């Protein structure tokens, strides 16, 4: 199986890259700004192959996926994980900040899914797994634009599942809650404690727990599952 994980050098993306490699899958990951040292370390640890691609750049995405297909002859799984966040008042948000969020979180998901779908339809098989967020379901104060982009990922998942289903391609979405990643480690201790208190399971999630959900959607066991949204949030969004 040939797998592509976007945003594969940190947090959830890195956990997904590692999980697929541990299963013996031929795995590639896109990254935008990670250092060469970080990329080489992941490649050595996992056997995955890193490619510098900005998912917000449609032509770069097409070229990157084309290279994978030329090398492997197919693409079986796309994990649309690349994402960025920005905390701040909606009224203070600049156009540049909004476009950066939309470019990576929503446009990038669309661009990668579009090129992957072209190949998967030809194969009459494939799995697209989008990484959303519980904020795309519930909305988050001071993360309005981020929430909106993740709500867009939700809508994309359901609509694309209907369009690609007749071609044997499934499209599903995993919506993480508060996960112990670099992004959330930047929060102050009081905020982290508050988020844990609001989570029924009373802790932060692990990237590996999100990766496990991704593996399920990519597996044969999920062959009759499409258009679904799976929350991995410790019950936060209930």
Catalytic residues, by residue number, are 146
Task: Look at residue 31 and give its three-state secondary structure.
Answer: strand
Task: Look at residue 77 and give its three-state secondary structure.
Answer: strand
CB 55 within 8 A of CB 149: no
What is d(CA 189, CA 194) in angstroms, rounded to the nearest whole number?
9
Burial category of 188 from C-beta neighbours within 10 Å (exposed 0-12, middle 13-18, buried 19 and up): exposed
Give the end-to-end CA distance of the chain in Å, rounded to a whole number: 35
- Number of Cβ within 10 Å of residue 201's Cβ equals 12
Burial category of 15 from C-beta neighbours within 10 Å (exposed 0-12, middle 13-18, buried 19 and up): buried
Task: Look at residue 238 and give its three-state secondary structure.
Answer: coil
- Number of Cβ within 10 Å of residue 66's Cβ equals 12
CB 16 within 8 A of CB 8: yes
């Amino acid at each position: 199986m040939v797998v592509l994980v976007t945003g594969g050098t940190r947090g959830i993306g890195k956990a997904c890259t590692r999980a697929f490699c541990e299963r013996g899958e031929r795995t590639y990951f896109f990254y935008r700004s990670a250092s060469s040292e970080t990329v080489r370390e992941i490649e050595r640890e996992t056997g995955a192959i890193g490619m510098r691609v900005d998912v917000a750049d449609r032509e770069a995405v097409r070229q990157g996926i084309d290279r994978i297909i030329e090398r492997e002859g197919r693409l079986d799984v796309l994990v649309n994980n690349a994402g960025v966040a920005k905390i701040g008042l909606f009224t203070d948000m600049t156009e540049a900040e909004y476009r950066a969020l939309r470019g990576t979180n929503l446009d990038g998901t669309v661009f990668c899914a579009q090129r992957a779908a072209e190949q998967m339809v030809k194969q009459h098989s494939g799995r697209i797994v989008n990484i959303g967020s519980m904020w795309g379901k519930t909305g988050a104060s001071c993360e309005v634009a981020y929430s909106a982009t993740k709500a867009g990922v939700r809508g994309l998942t359901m609509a694309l599942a209907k369009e690609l289903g007749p071609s044997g391609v499934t499209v599903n979405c995993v919506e993480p809650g508060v996960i112990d990643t670099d992004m959330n480690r930047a929060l102050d201790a009081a905020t982290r404690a508050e988020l844990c208190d609001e989570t029924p399971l009373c802790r932060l999630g692990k990237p590996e727990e999100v990766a496990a959900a991704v593996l399920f959607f990519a597996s044969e066991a999920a062959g009759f599952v499409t258009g679904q949204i799976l929350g991995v949030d410790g019950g936060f969004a209930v």
